[in-house]
């Protein structure tokens, strides 16, 4: 039984979890702290939960407003409203807004509380069973022409010749997820090995357990289409954050997290090869994660898998060797980090030109960009990423992390 507990006070969270643990052996409680995480995303119907426990004052707001919003969502589970002190008028208002039951946190009757939770969960189970047997369920779990049971389609996010990306809700994971569905359509001219490369790359990425690498929940096949189910980032990407503004301290922290993530994926034998702000995602807690390994490649694979000399990636963030179709390694990804670091600090890209090929030329031939005076203490750090020749750069993500961690208060010693 999955239970969602929406409560800020850690003492009450512990108390409620203790009641649930001693009364329901099968209970799995997920805690949502409104003050830190905000409201539940509007697309989230919580169909993976049996019951939701909602504090009357989430993040100091009106719990009745939250309650009305949640109960308006299709198939949202029963909500048990958690009052502070006993208040008959507040309890009546909550029941009128759709609460399944009301409990006073200051004096929880254990047996009654457990019975209320169990009954609410059984009600939700019956509601879901009825829905799955209805005609509407067929469309709810369809992604284009593909049906994936247990995943509710919310909307399409992006489409390319090789795949379509959807926002979905996973009943098993009890969360919003991103679903990438790969189409293998020979008549569109897909290159040999594309399907196998997709599966191979993401199987490796799924094994990486690092806080700054996207979490892969499932990799599978449905209706002859491969799919990958991965973490959803409600806070958006680094590109949007750049438009809103990034402080120098945040820029350095983001750089460190990206370098640590690269160290992990390079250790697993993966090159990202398409690092750019749109592939760096932000979590609500402020941490970042690298995504979109659709252009990733095992270091040990032979060149014929991707065709010798083929250019991958985005010109603004390409290393000189990548832009000219030469052999790339981990140091090429570090170069892309240098471009993003410069852009985070200055608000502009280091190399601009009218055409992609002219940008590629500048990466290889233009002088290294100079940071404004207020950031000069980081010039050595930038030069260690944007050096024209790989041998003159930081040699690994670990080395870059170490350089950041040993920076003096005003920067990096020359």
> What CATH number does residue 372 fall under?
1.10.510.10
Tokens of 332: 């090429």
Whole-number pLDDT of residue 178: 94
Pairing of strands 225-231, 151-159: unpaired
CA–CA separation, 308 vs 303, rounded Å?
5
Q: Could you give the 3-state DSSP secondary structure of residue 367?
A: coil
Name the H helices within 55-162.
63-71, 88-96, 110-132, 136-140
What is the model's pLDDT at position 408?
Answer: 81
Task: Please tell me whether residues 45 and 188 are part of one structural domain.
Answer: no
Domain stops at, among 87, 115, 132: 132
Parts of the chain with a pLDDT under 70: 184-199, 201, 294-313, 410-414
* pLDDT value, residue 187: 37
In a shared domain, residues 397 and 270: yes
Task: Measure CA of the first residue to CA of the last residue in the chain; give whole Å.
Answer: 58
pLDDT of residue 198: 60
Query: For the whole model, what pTM was predicted?
Result: 0.82
Q: What pLDDT shows up at residue 376? A: 94
Q: What's the gap between Cα 114 and its chain centre?
A: 34
How many structural domains does the chain have? 3
Structural domain of residue 189, as residue ranges? 140-231
For residue 190, the 8-state DSSP code is P
Please tell me the distance from the alpha carbon of residue 399 to that of residue 342, in angstroms, as a whole number. Answer: 19
Neighbour count for residue 384 (Cβ, 10 Å): 18
User: Which of 182, 215, 231 finishes a domain?
Assistant: 231
Q: Which has the closest alpha carbon to 181: 164, 206, 198, 161?
A: 164
Does 413 fall in a domain? no
Q: Do 156 and 201 belong together in one domain?
A: yes
155 in the same domain as 34: no
Q: Which residues are catalytic?
A: 274
How wide is the angle at C-alpha 152 spanned by C-alphas 131 and 290, nearest 5°?
A: 160
**Is 412 part of any domain?**
no
For residue 218, give every residue at least 6 positions away whose Cβ sits within 8 Å of its Cβ, in sequence order, or none: 227, 228, 229
- Say which CATH number the domain at 115 has: 3.40.50.2300
> How many C-beta neighbours within 10 Å does residue 373 have?
7
Cα 272 from Cα 87, distance rounded (Å): 56
* CB neighbour class for 23 (10 Å; exposed up to 12, middle 13-18, buried from 19): middle
Token couple for 172: 């098993």
């Amino acid at each position: 039984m999955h239970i969602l507990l929406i409560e800020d006070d850690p003492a009450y969270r512990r108390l409620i979890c203790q009641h649930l643990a001693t009364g329901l052996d099968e209970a799995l409680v997920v805690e949502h702290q409104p003050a830190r995480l905000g409201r539940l995303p509007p697309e989230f119907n919580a169909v993976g939960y049996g019951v939701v426990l909602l504090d009357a004052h989430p993040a100091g707001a009106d719990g009745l407003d939250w309650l009305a919003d949640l109960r308006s969502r299709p198939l949202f589970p029963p909500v048990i409203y958690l009052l502070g002190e006993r208040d008959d008028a507040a309890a009546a208002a909550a029941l009128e807004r759709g609460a399944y039951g009301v409990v006073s946190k200051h004096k929880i009757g254990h047996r009654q509380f457990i019975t209320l939770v169990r009954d609410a969960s059984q009600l939700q189970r019956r509601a879901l069973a009825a829905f799955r047997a209805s005609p509407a369920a067929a469309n709810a779990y369809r992604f284009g022409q593909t049906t994936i049971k247990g995943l509710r389609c919310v909307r399409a996010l992006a489409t390319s010749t090789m795949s379509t990306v959807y926002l979905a809700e996973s009943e098993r994971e009890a969360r919003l997820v991103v679903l990438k569905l790969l189409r293998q359509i020979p008549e569109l001219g897909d290159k040999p090995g594309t399907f196998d490369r997709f599966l191979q790359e993401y199987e490796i990425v799924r094994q990486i357990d690092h806080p700054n690498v996207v979490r892969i929940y499932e990799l599978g096949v449905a209706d002859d289409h491969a799919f990958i189910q991965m973490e959803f980032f409600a806070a958006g990407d680094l590109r949007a954050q750049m438009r809103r503004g990034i402080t120098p301290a945040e820029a350095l922290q983001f750089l460190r997290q990206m370098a640590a993530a690269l160290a992990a994926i390079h250790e697993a034998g993966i090159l990202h090869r398409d690092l750019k702000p749109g592939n760096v995602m932000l979590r609500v807690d402020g941490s970042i994660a690298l995504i979109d390994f659709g252009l990733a490649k095992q270091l040990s694979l032979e060149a014929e898998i991707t065709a010798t000399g083929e250019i991958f990636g985005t010109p603004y963030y390409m290393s000189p060797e990548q832009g000219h179709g030469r052999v790339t390694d981990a140091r090429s990804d570090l170069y892309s980090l240098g471009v993003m670091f410069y852009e985070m600090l200055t608000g502009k890209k280091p190399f601009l030109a009218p055409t992609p090929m002219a940008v590629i030329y500048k990466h290889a031939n233009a002088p290294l960009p100079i940071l404004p005076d207020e950031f000069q203490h980081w010039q050595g750090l930038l030069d260690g990423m944007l050096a024209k020749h790989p041998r003159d750069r930081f040699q690994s993500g670990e080395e870059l992390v170490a350089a950041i961690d040993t920076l003096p208060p005003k920067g990096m010693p020359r």
